[in-house]
Amino acid sequence: MREAHPMTPAGRRIVAAAEELFYNRGITAVGVDLIAERSGVTKRTLYNQFGSKDHLVAACLAERDRRWRSLVRAAVDACGSPVEAVTAPFDALRTWSGTNTRGCAFINALAELPDPSHPAYRIAANQKLWLRNLFEELATAAGCSGPATLATQLLVLHEGALATQPFPGDTLSGSTDLARSLVRASAPPRR
């Protein structure tokens, strides 16, 4: 289920170029010719590596997911207490938003890929499930009451901050504050 990344140098360049183009211009709007040109590679190489555009899309989202998860894990590890750790994904989101200002790539991808049998569909859907479960695990570890309900609320706040990111106004700060006060309210009293 967890495959390694035996990707050739050309393969990595293709994914990097495609990721940027898909995120900033949309998946359907970007052609494989442009991706090949941007990554300094022939279209033949692209097809030898990924087989089809659909599978390249999946590879891009998988790579993005991998990067996002490791950022969140680092933010969780950097926290001093289990209670702080519950809202660590909001800290990760602040970092992430510095270089990703066009909303959530997974939501955006699903907007263009309505077919559940598309190889990228499952990756995008799992991404949200993973975060929700992480919130629940962290809430449980911090001793919060009602971790399931809390996790859903935190996910909504997180996705809301991400979805409103392209619009003017700082929504991330407000939702982070709200998330923290929710966690504090459901956490056991200190010592």
Q: What is the DSSP letter of 29?
A: T
**134, 106, 21, 162: CA torsion to nearest 10:** -70
164 binds, among DNA, a copy of itself, none (CB under 5 to 8 A by kind): a copy of itself
Least separation, in Å, of the C-beta of 11 and a copy of itself?
26
Using the rule CB under 8 A, is 186 a contact of a copy of itself?
Answer: no
34 binds, among a copy of itself, DNA, none (CB under 5 to 8 A by kind): DNA
102 binds, among DNA, a copy of itself, none (CB under 5 to 8 A by kind): a copy of itself
Question: Cα–Cα distance between 26 and 20 in angstroms, integer?
Answer: 10
* CB contact at 8 A, 145 and 134: no
Least separation, in Å, of the C-beta of 179 and a copy of itself?
10
Ramachandran angles phi, psi of 24, nearest 5°: -90, -20
| Residue among 42 and 101 whose Cβ is closer to a copy of itself | 101
Part of the chain binding DNA (CB under 7 A), chosen from 43-51, 84-92, 121-129, 153-161: 43-51
Q: Which of 29, 74, 78, 141 binds a copy of itself (CB under 8 A)?
A: 29
Residue spans of alpha helices (H) in 30-187: 32-38, 43-50, 53-77, 82-86, 88-97, 105-112, 121-141, 147-163, 171-186
